[in-house]
Amino acid sequence: MARYGGHMAQVVRAAFVVTGRVQGVGFRVATARAAAANGVVGFVRNRADGAVEGEAQGEASALAAFRAWLQRGPTLARVDALAWREFAAVAGEATFDVRR
């Protein structure tokens, strides 16, 4: 658990894979903006098969909001499916990075 805003909060990490029309539509940059807006750290990157994948970490409520955003994505995207798997948080991460 970590301290957020004076209270103890459960921090969770999740791996995600988004399929659909998610490359060439600004999905990774928009994902980084959504992560920042929700106080989430981690990364996002393109996959060779046309999907986008990443890991996200934050307070459970922040991750829930981020997950809801991933299910719809940015305006030009079409999200067909979102795979989501939660696991233990990792220490020392402070940013959300866009990777290649």
Active site residue 28: yes
Question: How would you classify residue 15: left for phi > 0, otherwise alpha for psi between -120 and 50, otherwise beta?
Answer: beta
**Among 71, 75, 82, CA closest to 29:** 75
Tokens matching residue 91: 């220490």
Catalytic one among 13, 21, 28, 67? 28
Active site residue 38: no
Catalytic one among 46, 72, 78, 100? 46
Catalytic positions, please?
Answer: 28, 46
